[in-house]
Each structure stands twice: as C-alpha cells, then as structure tokens.
Amino acid sequence: MVAEVCLPEDADRRVLDRLHRAARVSTRHTALPLDRYAGLKNFGEVNDAFIAAAVPLGAEAVEGALDAAGLSPRDVDLLMFTSVTGIAAPSVDARLVGRLGLRPDVRRVPVFGLGCVAGAAGIARLHDYLLGRPDDVAVLLSVELCSLTFQRNDPSPANLVASGLFGDGAAAVVACGARRRATGPAVIDTRSRIYPDTEEVMGWDISASGFRIVLDASVPDLVRKNLPEEVDGFLAGHGLKREDITAWVCHPGGPRVLEAVEEALELPAGALDMTWRSLAAVGNLSSSSVLHVLRDTLAERPPPGGTAGLMLAMGPGFCSELVLLRW
C-alpha cells in the first residue's frame, strides 16, 4: 500500500524498504482496508474517511475507558478530544455526545495542532481543570489515523520515513478530581516547554493534497540539547532525581529519538522497554502513543506504591510536556 500510494511508478523501492527497516516497526493497524487507499483522490475524500473512521473508533475507546473505571457516560463532565490527522466541524467530540449518551451539558475541548505531545499535554490539561473542579470526571480522547496523511507520489525522505513509522490508533483516559474515588496514579505536577526558533522542525505543511509532514533531522539533537536540563529542573522542584523515577512513560517518537532520550537522560538499561515494544507493535500513533505506553505500564509493570513516574512527550513547536505521576 505505501509503495503504491507514496512512490511514483518509476521510483526505486530499495530506499523505501531501507527506511522502513530502520523504523523498527513490526506491525501496524490502518483505518481502512489497504486496497482503499489508492482510491482516495483528494484531501476532501481523505478527510471524509478520517471522520467516518474516527467517530466509531473514538466511541469504542471512550466506552472501554469508562467501563474500566466503573463509570458511565453520564458521569463525564469534560471531554477533551485531540487529533492532528484530520479535521471536523462539528468536531469528533461533538459527534460522540449523542452516540455515547453523554450529558448535553458536557464541556467539550477539541484540540488540534499539538501532534505527538498531545497525549501528555492532554493529561496535563485535564489535571489543570480538575484542580478547580475536584468533584468532576474528565476524559481525554485521542484518535490518530496517520495512514490517511501519507502523501501520494511524494518520495521525499520525510514522507517515506513517516510512511514507515506512523500507524493508526486511539486511546482514552479517564481522570477524576481529588474528591472522587479513583484508582491508578495521581498527577502531581506538569510542565510545558516550547523551544525558541524551532517552529520549522516538526509539523504539517497544509497543501491541496492534505497534510504534508515536516520532520527535520535535527529533532534528536534538540532532544539531547534540551531534555536533560528540562527533566532535572522539573524533578528538582519536587526533591527528586532521575534515579528516583521508577517508570518512564515515554512517547515512541522513533528509533533515533528514543536513542537520544536514553543517551541524554543516561537511563538504565530497559527503562524504555515498554516504549520500544509499543513502537514495534503498533508504530508511532502520534498523540495516542504515550497513552498506550501508560496503559502497558499499568498493566504489565505497575510500580510499587509511593513511587514516582514521569510521562514525557515532544511535538511540534518544538516543545516538550512532562507529567509527574505518583503511585
């Protein structure tokens, strides 16, 4: 599918194959059957496909998260929706209110443009909201259908790298205010940081054919330059050091980015195993990915009680988001 959509007929497939092997992604999910992608002729058709797939997939994610939390749709006071792979008005969250049976007075916050950082940033913004409304329930929904953004007949390195790295998926998180009974880790604090003069490093160029990826090779160097000071300063404000973190919930930006994170933070062997496994199993799901890593951390290796975890993600801006967790 990728070769048929992304490469001109006379292109050399060996470059594509080499880039896909380097992505270290073994399997991925796609929103559509593979034979449908070549038939999408323009951005309008692509975006219609996004909406048609995002609504039921988002509904499934929210229903699953509420069920796991022992809550009903009527309990939800705030629904935040994030995606960077399609647009809709009414937004996807609005289309889910009646479908899920949410209250008509539910607060909605559709977010576009944060990209990969939005999973961590979304949890941080839910935390901000719940500080002022400790009796409320807030839900973050991420739906990212990255396969719909692959550009046809575009053999540029950025497009070919993206075509091997990104997958389709969704995730939902239920967060409860301090006066509600809840399980799982507590959010202790958050930090957002945008780095100057980096607007052209990562994001989209919007064209007649849709979202054309911007992905500069300097991203790993930006991680090495900025992340250690950012993490150390954030942790120091809570009397913590890197060695105090028992769970690193890191967005799987790609092999070079993950290697840069490991090197920059001097992480012990295996600290990012969950992230590497997620990358191999489903690819980079943009904002949904770090939420998948959080789920896997909770399910497979819950840290001992009273310990700290750190969620971190980076995205367009160029920016980072840190979320300090406590079990």
Catalytic machinery residues: 116
The one-letter amino acid code at 197 reads D
CA 47 to chain CA centroid, nearest Å: 19
Query: CA-CA distances (angstroms) from residue 208 to 2, 40, 59, 212?
Result: 20, 13, 30, 10
Given a contact cutoff of 8 angstroms between Cβ atoms, the answer to whether 308 and 297 are in contact is no
Beta strands 107-111 and 245-250 are: unpaired
* Helices marked H in 133-251: 157-165, 219-236
Determine the 3-state secondary structure of 27 from DSSP: coil
The DSSP 8-state label assigned to residue 304 in this structure reads P
The one-letter amino acid code at 192 reads S
Query: CA-CA distances (angstroms) from residue 237 to 61, 137, 310?
Result: 35, 28, 14
ω before 150 within 30° of 0 (cis)? no
